[in-house]
Amino acid sequence: MDAIVTKMEETLERKKSIVYIVEKRTNAIDYIRRIHESAYYQQNSKSPLHWMNVANIQKIDFEKSIDIQKRLIGWFSLGLSLAPLLSTDKGPAFVRALVQLMEEYDYQFELGSAMQGVKVLLAKKQQSHTVVSENEHIKSKIVKTGNAVIYEFLKVFNISIAKDLDYFHVVFSLLEILEQIYKKFDKETCSSKYVYDAILKIDSRLKHQIFGFLSKEIDKMASQIIREQLEFINLCTTSKDPRDMSQQSKLSSSSSSSSSTTTPVATQTTATLSSSSSSSSAVALSNSSSYNQNNNAPSFSSTSDKSIGSSD
């Protein structure tokens, strides 16, 4: 009897965790999407959204990020590969397809050549299609025919098309698909231990490769905006030499967009901190991960995910 009660309690906890994961990620997706919309439609926006209530990220900030551009072709492939899975019924088969797709995505876009070689050595000789059961581990593995790796779900495109991809179009589409993917994690059909563990694995990979990555990149952009504002304030308040006027003029032009996009809170903070190290102040401000009630900013900190284990 005690074993039955314990099992029921564990199932209930998994159901609650699935609901929590879906709510947390859909909120994060919505917030990141609104940040991008604020940047993309900035000229038509009367009240632009500020990242963590610190700085308004502009379109050019995203477009000039080298690390973001490097991932663009991978995100394009992932979005096109995820879209067909939306027609799959909820449950173990859907989760298994996602696990396999993320394995293939990691192999193609995340691993170095050395690790790819190891994966090929361990790859299955032929592709096998088995019935997915909620009472068995959901596994993924790279499959090969001869020495060639073949993908079951991942759609790969020539890297030459990357130059024709628009960053915002790719991200808007990917975020929309991911939101629908998370909403298909049903607490009733995905609450068995093995399916739940697979969901945690999927969530962890998506967080690392998309949500967490984007939040860190936007943090860097916000940090740079605050840093430029601090440098400009410091120069204006400490330099009276006419010979420095040309330098002030240069900083003024580079900081004009930043000064207009920081919030009143951030502006007051920069004035207060102008006598301290501009770099460290900017980093401290940009790394804030608390909820912002005005912007509904979700927390991206790892501590907020402790209750769902490996979803960190």
pLDDT value of residue 275: 40
pLDDT value of residue 35: 96
pLDDT value of residue 200: 97
Candidates 266, 264, 167, 165; CA nearest to 223 is 266
Query: Greatest CA span in the chain, whole angstroms?
Result: 86
pLDDT value of residue 265: 44
Mean pLDDT of the chain, nearest integer: 79
pLDDT value of residue 145: 81
pLDDT value of residue 136: 86
Cβ proximity of 50 and 149 under 8 Å: no
Cβ proximity of 86 and 176 under 8 Å: no
Give the pLDDT band of residue 4 (cuts 50, 70, 90). confident
d(CA 98, CA 82): 8
Query: Which 3-state string (H, E, C) describes 202-219?
Result: HHHHHHHHHHHHHHHHHH
Sign of CA dihedral 286, 292, 295, 300: positive
- β-pair type (143-145, 148-150): antiparallel
pLDDT value of residue 144: 81
Average pLDDT over residues 79-86: 96
Predicted confidence (pLDDT) at residue 111 exceeds the cutoff of 80? no
Predicted confidence (pLDDT) at residue 118 exceeds the cutoff of 90? no
d(CA 36, CA 107): 28
Give strand ranges (E) for the chain: 143-145, 148-150
Q: Which long-range contacts (CB under 8 A, 24 or more apart) does 256-261 make?
A: 257/58, 258/55, 258/225, 258/226, 258/228, 258/229, 258/232, 259/229, 259/232, 261/48, 261/50, 261/55, 261/56, 261/57, 261/58, 261/225
Q: Which amino acid is at 206?
A: L
Predicted confidence (pLDDT) at residue 278 exceeds the cutoff of 80? no
pLDDT value of residue 121: 58
Predicted confidence (pLDDT) at residue 285 exceeds the cutoff of 60? no
